[in-house]
Amino acid sequence: MSIRIFIYDDSTERRDSLKALLSLDEQLVVVAEAPNCIHAIQDIENYFPDVVLMDINMPEVDGLEGLKRIKNKFPEVKVLMQTAYDDSEKIFTSLKNGASGYILKNDKPQRILQAIDEVFKGGAALNPAIAQKVLDYFKPAQRTTSLSPKENEVLSLLAEGLSYKMVADKLGVSYTTINTHTKRIYEKLHISSIGEAIAYYYKHLQ
Amino acid sequence: MSIRIFIYDDSTERRDSLKALLSLDEQLVVVAEAPNCIHAIQDIENYFPDVVLMDINMPEVDGLEGLKRIKNKFPEVKVLMQTAYDDSEKIFTSLKNGASGYILKNDKPQRILQAIDEVFKGGAALNPAIAQKVLDYFKPAQRTTSLSPKENEVLSLLAEGLSYKMVADKLGVSYTTINTHTKRIYEKLHISSIGEAIAYYYKHLQ
DNA sequence: CCCGAAATCCCTATTTTTAGGGATTTTTTT
DNA sequence: AAAAAAATCCCTAAAAATAGGGATTTCGGG
């Protein structure tokens, strides 16, 4: 009873060292590899891995897009994201899109093997630094001040019940500007609707 | 310098008596008439009236629809709504759609002539009873308690930032039910967006 | 002087919400 | 018991919001 693994990484070197690492655990079998996600769907169809080790920064079709494609078509396949930096936005984009874990490239080898095992068993594997960031999003404190002056102004007008168009008129800018501000507000607050934005406003900013 | 008037009313009798009335004022000229709004656009194009006297209850295409069509294409034409009853919803639908006034059929003849004159000059003419209803909507007092228990529940969940779908799941009912509740909430509070609803919730119900 | 954050604007496509109907069943209230 | 109010569900179409890109300008600090 082995764990079938597919590796995506644009560096041949890196793929080789990963294969060397994984070969230490006889339960793990690297069934195939690729330098990017252009053929992600076919890859999965052909090799039906249990776990995908996914680098984020790859040319052509990157890991975030690959993750989406794979989870969309094969929700049962576990995808473990792997990158050099702990970029907050990418972490959340990944988790939102169904990643089973997020590890860093300089994590200890033992950690990586452990992570694969965890996600295969249905758990989630997060590098501790990543885990901290995730938890941070549940304490709204520091987010309060993260909005720019304009974003705060837009949010307060939305909280009055104004539509994008009305806010645009009131501030003398175009609709698209308000759309952009709102997108940034949603990004910063990690929400995705006007209702959540207004609830946030009255709960934390009022 | 006369005022060109178009009369919409399904009762021939009523149209005749209106024409008789309006002929008393030599400034007023009834340029044409129709028993409903099927050809409203063409009517206005052909006769370019200054003021339209619009009955609400007519077969085929009624006055509310006629109002919308006319104001949509010819915003400069004044439309004076006229009906037998002071139905709150129709009043608000009319005013929202750009009616210049709202009078009742049993208003005194003198009132009717006056109303036409007012709207022609760019003013608004409201029967006093109607005016009262309109003012009522600006005092939020009585609206506070007007929501049904379920409507209040739905509103409070929306105010938490939940989408229609999430509210539906949470309450174990279908999406369309929430849609309907929301429509009723908006009607009762005389608003028309989730933003206004949530603002109302935090300002008046919290 | 360069960099980065902030603010502005645009395009495209999808998802949600809103509006306008209609309709049935259950509860309450008279 | 009949009427009114509340709650449920459905359909369709239009409007608004959301998501994902990209891009330019301004302004303040290092």
pLDDT at B205: 83
| pLDDT tens digits for range A104-145 | 888 888 889 988 988 898 888 777 666 666 655 544 434 445
pLDDT at A142: 42
On whether the CB atoms of residues A201 and A155 are closer than 8 A, the answer is yes
B79 and chain A: CB distance < 8 Å anywhere?
no
pLDDT at A132: 62
List Cα–Cα distances, B99 to A99, B62, B185, in angstroms. Answer: 55, 14, 24
Residue A161 and residue B202: Cβ atoms within 8 Å?
no
> Which pLDDT band, with edges at 50, 70 and 90, does A91 fall under?
confident
Cβ neighbors of B205 (< 8 A, separation 6 or more) are: B144, B152, B155, B156
Q: Which of B167, B186, B198, B204 is the best mutation test for A, with the most CBs of A within 10 A?
A: B198
How far apart (Å, rounded) are the C-alpha atoms in residues A146 and A140?
Answer: 10
List Cα–Cα distances, A65 to A38, A71, A76, A131, in angstroms. Answer: 9, 10, 17, 22
Residue B161 and residue A197: Cβ atoms within 8 Å?
yes
Q: How far in angstroms lies nucleotide C24's C1' from the CA of residue B7?
A: 40
Buried b (16+ CB within 10 A) or exposed e, B142-165: eeeeebeeebbebbebbbbbbbbe
B58, with CB counted inside 10 A (0-12, 13-18, 19+), is buried
On whether the CB atoms of residues A184 and A151 are closer than 8 A, the answer is yes
Domain A3-137 has CATH 3.40.50.2300: yes
| pLDDT tens digits for range A46-60 | 999 999 999 988 888
Residue A183 is encoded by which pair of tokens? 């997108």
For chain B, give the number of residues.
Answer: 206
pTM here is 0.64
Residue A39 is encoded by which pair of tokens? 């053929």
How far apart (Å, rounded) are the C-alpha atoms in residues B83 and B105?
Answer: 6
For the segment(s) B143-205, the CATH number from 3.40.190.10, 1.10.10.10, 3.20.110.10, 3.20.20.70 is 1.10.10.10
What does DSSP assign to residue B101? Answer: E
Q: How far in angstroms lies nucleotide D24's C1' from the CA of residue A180?
A: 14
Buried b (16+ CB within 10 A) or exposed e, A175-188: eebbeebbeebeee
| Higher pLDDT, residue B167 or B123 | B167
What residue segments make up the domains of chain A, in order of their start? 3-137, 143-205
